[in-house]
Amino acid sequence: MGTIPYDSIIGSNPFRFLVGLHKREFTIHSALVAHQSRALDALVNGGMREAHDGCAIWEQVDEKTFTRFGQYMYTGDYDAADPVASSASTTKDTSSNGTDGLQDRDIDEWFVPPDEYSVVWKTKKPSYSSRRRRLWNEFENAQDYGPARCPRPRKNTDPRASYREVFLSHARLYVFADCYGISQLAQLSFLKLRGTLVAFELFDERTGDVVELLRYCYMDPVPEKLRELVVHFVACHVEKLWKNEEFQGLVEAYGELSRALVGKLLARLD
């Protein structure tokens, strides 16, 4: 949507939001809320009870997500959650449960199509590193994710720094923006999540952070575009993530996830 004059913003009536389980009250200029999308314009200016009362109850929205939404409305940007220092590993490693050696082998060896059995020993496959690099390049440079107008976050260097809430803060805001048709915020939060994943160094200690993001994408109703992004990232790091028992549990529990992940992995067989 286009810009809105400041006098229209500050001259508008306040609109109240009661947010989260505790119904914390937030007050935003009504013209600014209405400017974000057609759905919010109807909420503020339409014929619904909320417009009459000048108040909406959003128990399903968490306070931190709404705060970022408010920051975006007034500034055009928002701050994600900060990494949190963590002394405990979030990885449940299964490498010592009798499968030693299997984790280190090229996972593509377990997905050889039946019609290739007879030639698999005669044909030299593209190297693991080249196939994985190609999948990663597709993730990093995907054009359908929109123009890369967001500054790339700094690369994480401390294995003890948890990025769980960093990932989820972007993902939750994207889901919120998509729900209410706030297209510019949806694009911004999506690009910020993608940029954070591109810059993210997946230490063994931090696999649980990615698992929590993946869990959010399949335990809650989210746009397919978000699932595709996260599954693509997971496919690029599946060998390391497979050592995490919770990741294995998610793959076993959610058929949609399994199908999407195998679909990405098959691209590495070409």
Q: Is the pLDDT of residue 191 over 60?
A: yes
Are residues 159 and 55 part of one domain? no
**In-domain check, residue 105:** yes
Is the dihedral angle over the CA atoms 20, 26, 32, 34 positive or is it negative? positive
Are residues 216 and 180 part of one domain? yes
Looking at per-residue confidence, does 123 or 206 come out higher?
206
152: pLDDT confidence band, cut at 50, 70 and 90? confident
Question: Rounded to a whole number, what is the distance in angstroms from the first to the last CA of the chain?
Answer: 43
Average pLDDT score over the chain: 85
DSSP letters spanning 150-161: SPPPPPP--TTE
Are residues 189 and 134 part of one domain? yes
Are residues 154 and 259 part of one domain? yes
Other Cβ atoms less than 10 A from the Cβ of 251: the count is 19
**pTM, to two decimals:** 0.83
* Residue 96 confidence (pLDDT): 40
Are residues 156 and 41 part of one domain? no
Are residues 252 and 155 part of one domain? yes
Q: Give me the domain span that covers residue 11.
A: 6-60
What residue has token string 């919770």?
246
**In-domain check, residue 123:** yes
110: pLDDT confidence band, cut at 50, 70 and 90? very low
* Residue 104 confidence (pLDDT): 42
**In-domain check, residue 72:** no
Provide the number of structural domains found in the chain: 2
**In-domain check, residue 259:** yes
- pLDDT, average across residues 9-16: 95
184: pLDDT confidence band, cut at 50, 70 and 90? very high
Are residues 54 and 126 part of one domain? no
**Reduced to 3 states, what is the DSSP secondary structure of residue 200?**
coil
CA pair distance 176, 196, nearest whole angstrom: 19
Instruction: List phi, psi (to 5°) of 190.
Output: -65, -45
**In-domain check, residue 76:** no
Say what percent of the chain tops pLDDT 70: 80
Q: Is the pLDDT of residue 114 over 90?
A: no
**In-domain check, residue 77:** no
* Residue 119 confidence (pLDDT): 42
* Residue 109 confidence (pLDDT): 42
Are residues 94 and 223 part of one domain? yes
- pLDDT, average across residues 128-141: 79
Mean pLDDT lowest among 60-69, 92-101, 139-148, 181-190: 92-101
Are residues 253 and 120 part of one domain? yes
Are residues 92 and 24 part of one domain? no
**In-domain check, residue 188:** yes
93: pLDDT confidence band, cut at 50, 70 and 90? low
CA-based nearest residue to 207, from 240, 252, 172, 160: 240
Are residues 207 and 161 part of one domain? yes
**In-domain check, residue 74:** no
| Model confidence pLDDT, tens digit, residues 41-80 | 999 999 999 999 999 999 999 999 999 999 999 999 999 9
Distances, alpha carbon 172 to alpha carbons 116, 202, 263, 269, in Å: 43, 21, 25, 34
* Residue 140 confidence (pLDDT): 85
Are residues 255 and 145 part of one domain? yes
